[in-house]
Structure 1
Amino acid sequence: MAIPTTKDELISAINGRFAKLDAALDAVPLDIADERSMEGHAKDTMMSVNNLVSYLIGWNELVLKWLDQDAKGKDIEFPEVGYKWNELGALAQKFYEDYSEYSFEENRNKFAAVKDQLVSEISKRTDEELYGSPWHGKWTKGRMIQFNSSSPYENAKGRVRKWLKSNAG
């Protein structure tokens, strides 16, 4: 899939990649969704499929926070307060913990809801706002959204499919 350069392409990428990931998640047996048998986001760590969904929820909520802060004219501390871009493994661990009390099914529902909220927020913006000028470093708002939504969905789909081959028969 080409890199989105318009609002419609970005929404299509998010929805399309979400649908493919969601279909892969449908194949995950509930009784092993919390087993830490998948390579984690931080070096030498393991995570569960439920942790992977938690990670995606965390990133989507973080993008929504960026958009909200931007809309209010506030400075945004990328990627998150207390974390630097070279500390994303630690941020992933935080996301796993943030949603650890929820079942795989509950987290899948949260993930679908936050993805829909993100699409709604994107829908309110123009192509010019999303792609007309740099927002963080050299990256436009649309590209930053894509880096932290549809691209990780694609990566997660590959991880789930690989994991299913070795863990779900």
Structure 2
Amino acid sequence: MAVPETRDELLAAIEKTFVQLERDLDRVPLGTVRDPVLDGHAKDTKMSPSDLVAYLIGWNQQVLIWHQRRSAGLPDEFPAAGIKWNQLGALAQRFYSEHETESWDYLREELRDAKASIIELINGYEDDELYGEPWYGKWTMGRMISFNTSSPYVNARSRIRAWLRTGQ
């Protein structure tokens, strides 16, 4: 899929990849949602399908936090409070643990809600605000949103599909 360069392309990419991901998550057997069957986001770790969904929720919510902080005039905290870019494995672990007691259905609904909030956020911006100038480092706002929504949806989908092909 091409990298989005407009609001409409970003919205389309998020919708398309999310629908595809949802279809694949629908195929995960309920008895395996907490089994550590997938390679984790930190080296030499394993995660469950539930952890993978928690990771996606975490990043979607992180995008919303970035925007809330900027709107409130607060300093940026990239990628997250207390985390540096070279500590993304620790951030993934944080996301997993934040959602470790939630049911599969609740996680799925929380992911849908986070995605809906991202869509609402995007709809509040024009193309020039999303793609007209760097927002963080060299990256535009639209690209930062894409990095943490549609791109991870594609990655998650490939992980789930590869695992499902093994017959669990």
Pairwise same-fold verdict (TM > 0.5): yes
One-letter code aligned to 1:64:
L
* Equivalent-residue separation in structure 2 for 1:89 and 1:136 (angstroms): 21
Q: Which residue of 1 aligns with 2:68?
A: 68
User: Could you tell me which residue of structure 1 aligns to residue 151 of structure 2?
Assistant: 151
Alignment of 1:28-107 (within 5 A): 28-107=28-107
Q: In structure 2, how many angstroms separate the alpha carbons of the residues matched to 1:122 and 1:22?
A: 21
**SS of equivalent to 1:58:** helix
Q: Which residue of 2 aligns with 1:141?
A: 141
Using the TM superposition, give the Cα deviation of residue 26 of structure 1 relative to its aligned residue in structure 2, in angstroms. Answer: 0.5
- Provide, for residues 59-98 of structure 1, a one-character-per-residue CA deviation record: whole Å limited to 9, x for no partner: 0000000111122232211001111111100000000000
Q: Which amino acid aligns with 1:127?
A: D
- Residue 167 (structure 1) shift: 4.0
Secondary structure, in 3 states, of the residue corresponding to 1:102?
coil
> Any unmatched runs of 5+ in structure 2?
none
- Counterpart of 2:20, as a letter, is K
Any gaps of 5 or more consecutive residues in structure 1?
none
User: Which whole-Å CA distance do the structure 2 matches of 1:99 and 1:123 have between them?
Assistant: 28
Identity, in percent, stands at 49
Q: Distance in 2 between matches of 1:98 and 1:167?
A: 29
With the length of structure 2 as denominator, give the TM-score of the two structures: 0.98
Q: Which letter does structure 1 place at the counterpart of 2:157?
A: K
- Tell me the distance in 1 between the aligned counterparts of 2:103 and 2:160: 17
- CA offset at residue 37 of structure 1? 1.2
TM-score, normalized by length of structure 1?
0.97
Residue 25 in structure 1 maps to residue 25 in structure 2: yes
Counterpart of 1:161 in structure 2 is 161
The secondary structure found in structure 1 opposite 2:144 is helix
Alpha-carbon RMSD across the aligned residues, in angstroms, is 0.8
CA distance in 2, matches of 1:116, 1:65: 15
Structure 1 residue 52 displacement after superposition:
0.1
For the residue of structure 2 that corresponds to 1:120, the secondary structure is: helix
Per-residue CA deviations over 1:6-30 (Å, capped at 9, x if unaligned) read 1111111111100000000010000
Aligned residue pairs total: 168
